[in-house]
């Protein structure tokens, strides 16, 4: 039996009213959250704001297991959390954000697991480039840090496209550490420093005037020479290193650069990271700011 047109129209109007009501509530809550966020950031801005925050994105798989989701769903939730955290960081005035996306040691995992992560990484890089509102609003320049030759070709191509597409941005930076470990970065920087010093020596064995020497004609490699060749030389050292899920291990990440920064380990799994955990992190930084600055001056 066909539905009465009057009843059908009435039902459609009720449905439309409910949808509009839900939309109104959503917009109201969204506006309220935005207002609260601005007020909180205004209060926080009265104190020192970190210039550079680094994140170890820990807990995606545990989040998926906790909520009985597939492993891939946990990483997708982690990507959404990253987009939110980036937005909050840039809104409060953090200029550099570094994330540890894939360690060189991870290549030792099962081939199918490595392939899965590579495919996921390619998908997320391409997905980030579609977040034009975030990229354009905050002027984000994306830089991939590490031994990029080790990446699978589709991932490397996607990374190169992202870097080229955002190369003109200078307002904020997103540094993505892939195929990276400090135990690879540091020896590489030492080797390249030595190669550079040896390259400026004359053929007869004498040393050019602009090269530091010790006794005789031996070339002296200083700390500043090594730091110049670090992968992370493109950014200042982090003010805060955050590892989610309560873990306190550095996992071979930024060992050289984190000598005098705050180490912060919130209990939230990475997909649970958001506005309030970030606020707590910055408040902890402000509480320890004078001590951290004193240590930097003593270094």
Catalytic amino acids?
A: 58
Token pair listed for 153 = 């070709």
- Contact between residue 197 and residue 219 where contact means Cβ atoms under 8 Å apart: yes
Token pair listed for 248 = 């306190």
Q: How far apart are CA 264 and CA 241, in angstroms?
A: 6
Q: Each residue of 203-226: b (16+ CB within 10 Å) or e?
A: eeeebeeebeeeeeeebeeeeebb
Token pair listed for 271 = 């997909």
Question: Coil, helix or strand for 145?
Answer: strand
Q: How far apart are CA 174 and CA 181, in angstroms?
A: 18
Instruction: Output the CA–CA distances (angstroms, integers) from residue 236 to 97, 98, 146, 203, 254, in the order listed.
Output: 11, 11, 16, 36, 12
């Amino acid at each position: 039996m066909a539905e009465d047109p009057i009843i059908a129209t009435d039902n459609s109007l009720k449905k439309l009213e409910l949808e509009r009501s839900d939309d109104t509530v959503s917009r109201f809550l969204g506006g309220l959250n935005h207002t609260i966020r601005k007020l909180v950031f205004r209060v926080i801005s009265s104190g020192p704001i970190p210039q550079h925050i680094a994140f170890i994105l820990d807990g995606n798989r545990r989040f998926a297991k906790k909520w009985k989701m597939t492993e891939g769903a946990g990483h997708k939730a982690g990507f959404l959390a990253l987009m939110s955290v980036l937005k909050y960081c840039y809104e409060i005035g953090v200029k550099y954000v570094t994330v540890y996306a894939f360690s060189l040691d991870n290549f030792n995992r099962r081939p199918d697991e490595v392939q899965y992560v590579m495919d996921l990484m390619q998908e997320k890089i391409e997905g980030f480039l579609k977040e034009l509102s975030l990229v354009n609003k905050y002027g984000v320049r994306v830089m991939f840090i590490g031994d990029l030759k080790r990446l699978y070709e589709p991932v490397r191509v996607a990374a190169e496209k992202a870097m080229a597409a955002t190369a003109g941005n200078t307002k904020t930076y997103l540094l993505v550490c892939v195929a990276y470990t400090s135990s690879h970065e540091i020896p590489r920087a030492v080797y390249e420093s030595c190669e550079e010093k040896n390259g400026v020596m004359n053929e007869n064995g004498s040393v050019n005037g602009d090269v530091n020497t010790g006794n005789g004609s031996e070339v002296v490699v200083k700390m500043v020479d090594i730091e110049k060749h670090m992968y992370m030389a493109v950014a200042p050292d982090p003010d805060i290193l955050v590892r989610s899920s309560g873990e306190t291990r550095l996992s071979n990440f930024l060992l050289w650069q984190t000598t005098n920064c705050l180490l912060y380990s919130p209990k939230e799994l990475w997909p649970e990271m958001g506005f309030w955990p970030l606020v707590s992190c910055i408040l902890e930084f402000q509480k320890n700011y004078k001590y951290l600055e004193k240590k930097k001056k003593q270094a």
